Amino acid sequence: MLRFTVRRLLGAIPLLLGVSVLSFVFMQLAPGGPDALYARNKRMSQEQLDQIRENMGIGRPVHEQLAVWLGNLLQGDLGTSYTQYRPVADVIWDAFPNTVLLMTAGLAIALVFALLFGTLAARKPYGPFDNLTSFVSYFGLAMPVFWFGLMLQILFAVKLTWLPSANMRGVDGGGVLDVARHLVLPAFTIAIGSIAGWSRYVRSSTLEALNQDYVRTARAKGVREGAVMTRHALKNALIPFVTVASIDIPLYLTGAVLVETVFSWPGMGRLFFDSLQVRDYPVLMGTLVLGAVLIVLGNLIADLAYGLLDPRIKYR
């Protein structure tokens, strides 16, 4: 187990390096360059403009820039934001916990609802509840996630005014309840795809588990149906489910960009989107690399959790 973990960790390093280099290469595509806006500033003299370019390292050979950037990256230095004049790490750190909060809340909501709907549906396949969840799931999977967010916003924030329309905290807020109120709509939005997909998956694997000998044995012994469900069927259904869930992690990053934009959530997605508008390349690169790290980590955790849940798997 330990060896496997180490091996997977080591395997992730070239992956991350590759992602970093590719990120850098993509940044070199810029025609306007980060200085385009400065050049159109009417108070900027040619000398100042040249000075700024010098400071940004614009004009140096690409491989030199790459070497400097990678070197700094390894030391945890992501550079300085072009627009906020402070370290990228600080800028991202302001947003990162908020995104983690949103993603965690989304995952939790998805888990709870998927397990609930999935197992309930599995109790009576093709029963009314199964049909209903199946129908709703199909819709959940077919909807553009941001559109679902817009619809929730119109309904709950504008028409019913039950929940705040945007932001993460009230003016004097920051308490758990306040943040939770602001969290409901974006977290539900980001989770909708997973709720839909996972609940179908939980239903399938529960059904499958219910067909197993040990479940029949348990039933034969007179174990109550609820206990059969939770203790036997569900536990085994969870194993493949972890894998499926881990695949959705990139989906949550994608979702973060869209959902945070819709709900003005102060996270990495919105940071990324805002930086895109002003061509803040250091911030964009930082976000890209961090995003890749999250995906690789997510996959790693899924691998490990999979092993923990299913003792039959041998790690070579």
Partner 1 sequence: MAMIQLGGRGREERAGAGEPTTVNGLIQARIDGRISRRELTRRAAVLGIAAPVVGVMLHATSDHAFGAPSRGRALPTRLAQEAVPVSGPTAPEGTPAQGGTLVVGTASEPDTLQPYISQTVTAADFQTGIFDGLLGYDSTQTLQPALATEFAISDDGLVYTFTLREGVTFHNGDPFTGEDVVNAWKIIMDEEFGAFNTQGWDKVTDIAVDGATLTITTGEVYAPFMSYVPVTDLVPSSAIAKGIDSFKQEFGRAPIGTGPMRFVEWKAKEQIVVERFDSYWGNPPKLDRVVTRLVPDDNTQLVQLRTGEIQMVGSGGALSPTRVDEALEIENVVILEHPTQDWQHMDLKHVDFLRMTKVRQALDFATPTQDIIDKLLKGRAVRSIADQVPGSWAHNPNIEPRPYDLEQAKALLAEAGLTPGDDGVLEGKVPTTDPNVGDGEVKPFEIELWFVSGNSETERNCQVVAQSWNSIGIKTEVFNQDISTIWGPEGYQFTDAMTASMWTWTNGNDPSDEYYWASSQIPDRPDGSGGNLPAYFHEYNFQAEIDDLTARADATTVQEERKAIFDQIQEVLHREVPVIFMYWPNSYPAVAPNIGGFWPSAFTYLMWNVQDWYLME
Partner 2 sequence: MNADPSIESRPAPHPFVDPAIRATPGPTGLGALVPDPAARKPRGPVQLALGRLRRAKLAIAGLVVIVVMILVAVFADLLAPYGQNEVDLFSVEAPVSSAHWLGTDELGRDELSRLMYGGRISLLVGVAAAAISTVLGILVGAVAGFYGGWLDAVLMRFVDLMLAFPAIFLLLIVFSIRGSSVGSVVLFLGVFGWMWLARIIRGEFMSLKEKEFIEAARAVGVPNGRIIWRHLMPNVLAAIIVATTLAIAINMLAEASLSFLGFGVPSGTPTWGNMLNGARDSYLTHPLLAIAPGLTLTIAVLAINFVGDGLRDAFDPKGGR
Interface residue with partner 2, options 53, 80, 251, 264 (CB under 8 A): 251
List the interface residues with partner 2, window 100-159 (CB under 8 A). 122, 125-126, 137-139, 141-147, 150-151, 153-154, 158
Name the binder of 288 from partner 1, partner 2, none, CB < 5-8 A by kind. Answer: partner 2
> Given the complex with partner 1, which of 157 and 305 has the nearer CB atom?
157
Q: What residues make contact with partner 1 under the rule CB under 8 A?
A: 31-37, 39-49, 51-52, 55, 83-87, 91, 94-95, 157-158, 161, 164-172, 261, 264, 266, 270-271, 274, 277-279
> Given the complex with partner 2, which of 177 and 254 has the nearer CB atom?
254
List the interface residues with partner 2, window 51-110 (CB under 8 A). none
Q: What's the rounded Cα separation, in Å, for the pair 169 and 266? A: 10
Q: At what angle do helices 235-247 and 249-263 cross, to 10 degrees?
A: 60
> Given the complex with partner 1, which of 33 and 125 has the nearer CB atom?
33
> Given the complex with partner 2, which of 135 and 175 has the nearer CB atom?
135
> Given the complex with partner 1, which of 208 and 274 has the nearer CB atom?
274
Name the binder of 278 from partner 2, partner 1, none, CB < 5-8 A by kind. Answer: partner 1
> For residues 146 and 159, is the Cβ–Cβ distance under 8 A?
no
Q: What residue ranges in the chain does DSSP mark as E strands?
A: none
Work out whether 180 is an interface residue with partner 2 (CB under 8 A). Answer: no
Q: What's the rounded Cα separation, in Å, for the pair 113 and 102? A: 16
List the interface residues with partner 2, window 212-241 (CB under 8 A). 212, 216, 239-240
Can you tell me whether residue 80 is helix, strand or coil? strand
**164, amino acid identity:** P
Q: How far is the CB of 28 from partner 1 (least distance, A)?
A: 14
Q: What's the rounded Cα separation, in Å, for the pair 245 and 253? A: 14
83 burial (CB, 10 Å; 0-12 / 13-18 / 19+) is middle
- State how far the alpha carbon of 64 is from the alpha carbons of 19, 58, 74, 89, in Å: 18, 11, 16, 22
